[in-house]
């Protein structure tokens, strides 16, 4: 799996009709530890914007691990079409510390590029230019360990953005970002021509996506246009909270 991908990409990867590109998951069974996470899961993920929502433990991160090749299914297949190599998929981990390998911000970005075949010298120049373009030159030599969680997540995002994968998998990218960083990310996603699959608990960020999947216990409970699926999930959450309060008052 490659990390990285500069935003915006140069070419749209998905043709208008969406045929022939994207990710196909075919009859997949995935077991992690002692747990059967997915069983016979089949999904075609071809839209350019796909949201993943659902409770903790629903399987959002596991789906990303599967698509990015980090986890291999015990049964079935994950097929990346239109983006022939696994290097065309970049994953932003839910926890930045699972992604960051290098001690400084610049080295982290440089690695994204050298991993895709760029020479060290060219990669270093591009990384410095990239940081400068965002007004973050001062970050180049900074130790990653001295950044806040939200800043480390920004470093991970930049490491993704700089190397231009065709499909970006963003696992709860908004979770630890401050409000300005959230709106910056939303604008970048809007402008991007890459395929983006994004999980979040902040439903407003996927409301306008053409497709959202509501995952529940490793299965797709509802699959459809963002607004409708988000509303269905929010209504279900309200109903569960109501039932829980009622049980509490009878206890």
Ligand X SMILES: Nc1ncnc2c1ncn2[C@@H]1O[C@H](COP(=O)(O)OP(=O)(O)O)[C@@H](O)[C@H]1O
Which of ligand X, Mg ion, none interacts with 33 (beta carbon under 5 to 8 A by kind)? ligand X
Q: How far is the CB of 57 from ligand X (least distance, A)?
A: 4
Which of residues 45 and 123 has its CB atom nearest to ligand X in the complex? 45
Residue 226: in which H helix or E strand, if any? helix 226-250
**Cβ distance to Mg ion smaller for residue 94 or 195:** 94
Q: Which is nearer to Mg ion, 60 or 152 (CB)?
A: 60
Least distance to ligand X from the beta carbon of 173, Å?
13
Binding site for Mg ion (CB under 5 A): 60-61, 94
Binding footprint of ligand X on the chain (CB under 6 A)? 32-33, 35, 37, 54, 56-62
Residue 192: CB minimum distance to Mg ion, A: 22
Q: How far is the CB of 70 from ligand X (least distance, A)?
A: 11
Instruction: Give the separation between CA 251 and CA 248, rounded to whole angstroms.
Output: 5
154 binds, among Mg ion, ligand X, none (CB under 5 to 8 A by kind): none
Helix ranges, 68-104 (H): none
């Amino acid at each position: 799996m490659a990390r990285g991908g500069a935003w915006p990409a140069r070419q749209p990867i998905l043709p208008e009709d969406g045929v022939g590109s994207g990710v196909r998951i075919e009859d997949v069974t995935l077991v992690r530890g002692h747990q059967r996470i997915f069983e016979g899961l089949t999904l075609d993920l071809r839209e350019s914007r796909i949201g993943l929502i659902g409770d903790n433990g629903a399987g959002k991160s596991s789906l990303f691990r599967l698509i990015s090749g980090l986890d291999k299914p015990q049964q079935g297949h994950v097929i990346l079409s239109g983006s022939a190599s696994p290097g065309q998929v970049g994953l932003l981990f839910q926890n930045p510390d699972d992604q960051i390998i290098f001690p400084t911000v610049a080295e982290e970005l440089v690695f994204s590029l050298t991993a895709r075949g760029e020479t060290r010298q060219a990669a270093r120049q591009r990384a410095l230019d990239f940081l400068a373009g965002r007004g973050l030159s001062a970050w180049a030599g900074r130790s990653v360990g001295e950044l806040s969680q939200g800043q480390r997540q920004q470093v991970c995002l930049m490491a993704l953005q700089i190397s231009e994968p065709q499909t970006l998998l963003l696992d709860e990218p908004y979770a630890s970002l401050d409000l300005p960083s959230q709106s910056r990310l939303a604008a970048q996603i809007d402008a991007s021509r890459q395929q983006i699959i994004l999980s979040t608990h902040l439903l407003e960020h996927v409301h306008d996506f053409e497709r959202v999947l509501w995952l529940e216990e490793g299965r797709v409970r509802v699959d459809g246009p963002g607004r409708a699926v988000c509303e269905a999930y929010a209504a279900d959450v309200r109903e569960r909270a109501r039932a829980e309060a009622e049980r509490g008052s009878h206890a």
